[in-house]
Amino acid sequence: MNSYKKDLGLLESTSIVISRIIGSGIFRTPAPIMALVGCTSLFGLVWVIGGVITIFGAVVYAELSAMLPKSGGPYVFLKEAYGPFTAFIRGWAMFFVSETASIVAVALVFTEYLSAIWTISTGDPFSLLTTFIISLFTIWLLTAINMYGVNLSGKLQVFFSFLKVAALGAIIGMTLTSFSTGNFGNFTNPLWPESFGWHTVLAVGAALRYSFFAFSGWEGATYVAEEVKNPSRTLPLSLFFGIAGVMVLYIGANLGYLFQLDAKAIVENKWVATAAMKVVLGATGGIMISIAVAINAFGNISTQILCKGRTWHAMARDGLFFKSFGKLHPKYGTPNNALVGQGFWASVLLIVAVISTYIQSGSSGTNAYEMVIDFFSATSTIFNIMVFLSIMVLRKKWPNKERPYKALLYPWSMYIVVILNGAFLLITLITAFIPSMIGILLTSTGGIYYYFKINKK
């Protein structure tokens, strides 16, 4: 089989957007964000900045995806704007640094919430070895499921998207209406940092790593563009519908957390959704919401595996990646070799994260999640900026090309998202220098592969 099956409509595409965004972030990142900023005003500011950049980024992506409805997401836009080498390096970075690392991060959160259930029930959390085994099994189970056709995967996305919205809706409803346990004073305690200065800017910038991760994935439907019906219309609509829905849910969830937990309690409880529900309903509420969050994370891992495998296939199809990744399964029309390769590298990154965490934190493994995000934030931001700028490049390159949707407020929408991402990149390089350099160094190895394997053909 040489082409994908067009089995995804607006509902499935929007579900992919929702399922890609709502994974682990809203349930796990509030704690490290509050730990960095230390007050409610900056906590809110971090989420607002993350949301603004997401909105303007989606405006740019909507034009690009409607104009170039091809599977592969950002890889396709970069290839057309800057040529094969830039697109290859981005794809290399996605595979070896950012995208497979993101799968690992959410797999770790899935296991963390299972551990939360186990801790509430028995009093003892999972060991680091148990965390590793469950995370590894989850990655490979969902890889296997996604090898049996996009129709099955699409239905799975709709199912998990429904569960995600229901779970967040339950958290919002119960935490904001439980006045007997809630405290309005939490919204202003403390409202401002003890002092303002350069350290405040660095703290907000560092916290944005986790806010961006919570919002990441909104471009998910563009990875499967060739499997979408009427993509020029469906892709932009799925981006806007999906992001708008998630924005409302994120605002509600954070308000609910703050109503039930003060700033100190949020910092001390990395399982913040569980902690908030325990305040409202006791141990039973903690178990119930931990199950819901674990299901959410599970669904997000499936969506990531589905979407990202298409990038490796698109690259290989263009002769820019491992040749075997360019094959589709003759029956299911899925890029199974690419999915297996992705699963293998995710396993390697999981092993590295677990070993590094053990060395730094001992057997509890409390920092593995943050470590994975720090590893790929700078690299992802560099290429995100290039993707956003590609709209300007392609408008000059193809002034007369049909554009079913044109970016709202262009060029200002592009300027805003590029400037904010540039500032974030600078602060990330300052506050997470060593992890950033590791990610950039690993990305640069793609130049060696390109020179000897691609350029020499």
What are the two backbone dihedrals, phi and then psi, of residue 399, each rounded to the nearest 5 degrees?
-65, -25
Per-residue model confidence (pLDDT) at position 151? 64
Provide the domain limits for residue 46.
Answer: 10-454
User: Is residue 290, in this structure, part of any structural domain at all?
Assistant: yes
Per-residue model confidence (pLDDT) at position 41? 94
Instruction: Record the pTM.
Output: 0.76
CATH number at residue 205: 1.20.1740.10
Per-residue model confidence (pLDDT) at position 168? 84
User: Is residue 77, in this structure, part of any structural domain at all?
Assistant: yes
Mean pLDDT by 10 residues, the chain (457 residues): 67 79 80 92 92 86 84 83 89 83 85 85 85 94 82 68 81 92 92 88 90 81 74 81 86 94 91 88 81 81 83 84 84 86 92 78 56 80 92 94 85 91 90 88 87 71
User: Is residue 3, in this structure, part of any structural domain at all?
Assistant: no
Give how many domains the chain has, as a whole number: 1
Per-residue model confidence (pLDDT) at position 368? 62
Interacting residues of 316 by C-beta distance below 8 A, sequence separation 6+: 322, 323, 324, 325, 326, 327, 338
Per-residue model confidence (pLDDT) at position 367? 60
Per-residue model confidence (pLDDT) at position 5? 65
User: Is residue 318, in this structure, part of any structural domain at all?
Assistant: yes
User: Is residue 4, in this structure, part of any structural domain at all?
Assistant: no
User: Is residue 127, in this structure, part of any structural domain at all?
Assistant: yes
User: Is residue 187, in this structure, part of any structural domain at all?
Assistant: yes
Q: Please give the Cα distance from 213 to 297 (Å, whole number).
A: 13
User: Is residue 1, in this structure, part of any structural domain at all?
Assistant: no
